[in-house]
Amino acid sequence: MAAVITVRAPFAFMRRLVSLRLHKRCCSKVQSAYLVYRPHSYSLIAGQQQRFFRTSCVAARPVMPFKLSDIGEGIMEVTVKEWYVKEGDKVSQFDSICEVQSDKASVTITSRYDGIIRKLYYDVDSIALVGTALVDIETDAGQVEGPQEDVVETPAVSHEEHTHQEIKGLKTQATPAVRRLAMENTIKLSEVVGTGKDGRILKEDILNFIARQTGAILPPSPFQEICPPPPAPVAPSTPAAKPREKTTPPSVPTPVIPKPVFTGKDRTEPIKGFQKAMVRTMSAALKIPHFGYKDEVDLSQLVRLRSELKGLSESRGVKLSYMPFFIKAASLSLLHFPILNSSLDENCTNITYKAAHNIGLAMDTNQGLLVPNVKNVQMLSVFELAVELNRLQTLGSSGQLGTVDLTGGTFTLSNIGSIGGTYAKPVILPPEVAIGALGKIQVLPRFNHKDEVVKAHIMNVSWSADHRIIDGATMCRFSNMWRSYLENPATMVLDLK
């Protein structure tokens, strides 16, 4: 039977004793003694090769700071508009974390990790600086592979309305074959709208993008096919049916105007978001010497043409306004006067003539003045312009316009007439060199070619041009050509592509 010796001593002393005995056992290969812990005592037992002390540790899950990455365009700060998570929520990769708003666009930040939210660094409407942490996420150790950039995405209403931004940190989903196809054709995946599951970019998306850039015609994609709605069922007639009484159409509800509240106190608030961008852009526009030119356009034939095409367009699910005709006429005129689709460098030493007609549309939204633009108008039909304008207006009204839609414009039209007014003095948006403001369409008396007074649909237009590189005669000739296309819309057919 093994001898047992009970020793009372401090634990530190006994630990050193065991260390010496273990060291001696390793060197001389003799039997060693070890300790058995008992409350308030320690027992030294000799002659047994067992171990009663065990230690174990649990690896702590790392907490990663999720930083706001550089979203491009020189943006250094954003405003946190909405949090989609709270502390303790479990998130997966690509889950939405929050929505931030810069002075150019609203952006949805998505997670790069699977984990649990441990801390939110900012409140709603707080200013977040680029490079600072937005949230802390507790992740698995295997997910930490070194510093990476956070994922930044634009909000998506649906697969058809999904948009991407050409910004640093954008993560796109595509197979290696698709990425290779894009690389061979010098295409940025951030500029391509994916129609696959969860916005994945397919081979057909790349081919369709190439077709839009080059003007090639490809078979329609099943994702983009527009089917007319089925005809409404006709109710069977009965012999005793009475003639339907004439009913008045339902009246349009009058918009409710909120009652103003008088507080009696001055209020000071910081300039931020889109208003801050307007301050910077308009301050730069003051350096441009503006040349103004105004004219009126008889839209009587265009009004009749639109009334004939409106029903067909609506049967395809697209609202047809006058703006697609205005924009297309501007693009056809820019082909003859390319200097109006150019830009001037800061030193006023070089003029860059833009190949693409990215025509912007000034839009009044709840967030302020926004100017999204339709890309490559020279490649689009009037119906395709109507589809794109419907998309931009939907995104603008919901505050979901992305950076790609709001940047890269080369020429701008402002439809101030949709609100009211006939004439305006539009301000050029640098680095563009020209802009037009469209007044409301009025029914006014005019003389026809027989000197008869007739009813005419008249719209006034106001142009502004950069007088450093555009003279008055060029602006006048451009306006005359643009007006001729609209007053005789059939002539546009000859130049349409």
pLDDT in tens, 304-329: 999 999 999 999 999 999 999 999 99
Residue 185: pLDDT over 80: no
pLDDT given for residue 410 in this prediction: 96
Going through 345-385 in order, the beta strands assigned E by DSSP cover: 351-353, 359-365, 368-370, 373-374
pLDDT given for residue 161 in this prediction: 32
pLDDT given for residue 201 in this prediction: 81
**If you count them, how many residues does the chain have?**
497
Q: Please tell me the chain's helix, strand, coil percentages from 3-state DSSP, rounded to the nearest 5.
A: 30, 25, 45
- Of the ranges 19-28, 151-160, 358-367, 448-457, which one carries the lowest mean pLDDT score? 151-160
Task: Express as a percent the part of the chain with pLDDT over 90.
Answer: 33
Whole-angstrom Cα distance, residue 44 to residue 455? 116
pLDDT given for residue 159 in this prediction: 32
Residue 168: pLDDT over 50: no
Q: Which two tokens stand for residue 37?
A: 């812990």
Residue 425: pLDDT over 60: yes
Quick: pLDDT tens for 230-264: 444 444 444 444 444 444 444 445 556 667 777 77
pLDDT given for residue 183 in this prediction: 73
Whole-angstrom Cα distance, residue 150 to residue 250? 52
* Residue pair 87/118 in contact by the 8 Å Cβ criterion: yes
- Of the ranges 37-41, 50-54, 84-88, 476-480, which one carries the lowest mean pLDDT score? 37-41
Q: Which two tokens stand for residue 263?
A: 């507080």
- Of the ranges 153-157, 173-177, 292-296, which one carries the lowest mean pLDDT score? 153-157
pLDDT given for residue 355 in this prediction: 93
Whole-angstrom Cα distance, residue 318 to residue 253? 23
Residue in this structure with the two tokens 């004939």, named with its chain if needed? 308
The arithmetic mean of pLDDT across residues 115-133, rounded, is 88
Helix (H, G, I), strand (E, B) or coil at 425: coil
pLDDT given for residue 395 in this prediction: 87
Residue 186: pLDDT over 80: no
Instruction: Name the pTM for this structure.
Output: 0.58
Catalytic residues: 467, 471
Per-chain mean pLDDT for the chain = 75
pLDDT given for residue 434 in this prediction: 96
The arithmetic mean of pLDDT across residues 176-185, rounded, is 71
Give one DSSP letter per residue of 143-210, joined into a string: G--S--PPEEE---SSSTT------TT----B-HHHHHHHHHTT--GGGSPP-SGGGPBPHHHHHHHH
Quick: pLDDT tens for 438-462: 999 999 999 998 999 999 999 999 9
Calculate the dihedral angle through the C-alpha atoms of 372, 378, 379, 382, rounding to the nearest 10 degrees.
70
The arithmetic mean of pLDDT across residues 172-188, rounded, is 71
pLDDT given for residue 171 in this prediction: 52
The arithmetic mean of pLDDT across residues 189-205, rounded, is 73
The arithmetic mean of pLDDT across residues 10-22, rounded, is 50
The arithmetic mean of pLDDT across residues 148-160, rounded, is 39
Residue 104: pLDDT over 60: yes
pLDDT given for residue 257 in this prediction: 67
Quick: pLDDT tens for 369-424: 788 999 999 999 999 999 999 999 888 888 778 778 888 999 999 998 888 888 99
* Residue pair 130/69 in contact by the 8 Å Cβ criterion: yes
* Residue pair 133/66 in contact by the 8 Å Cβ criterion: yes
Peptide bond between residue 445 and the one before it cis (omega within 30 degrees of 0): no
pLDDT given for residue 160 in this prediction: 32
Whole-angstrom Cα distance, residue 221 to residue 228? 16
Q: Which of 463, 416, 464 is nearest to 441 (CA)?
A: 416
Q: If you ran DSSP here, which 8-state letter would residue 356 be given?
A: S
Residue 143's pLDDT band, with cuts at 50, 70 and 90, is low
Residue 193: pLDDT over 60: yes
Whole-angstrom Cα distance, residue 112 to residue 114? 7
What burial class does residue 325 get, using C-beta atoms within 10 Å of its C-beta: 0-12 exposed, 13-18 middle, 19+ buried? Answer: buried
Residue 41's pLDDT band, with cuts at 50, 70 and 90, is very low
Residue 197's pLDDT band, with cuts at 50, 70 and 90, is low
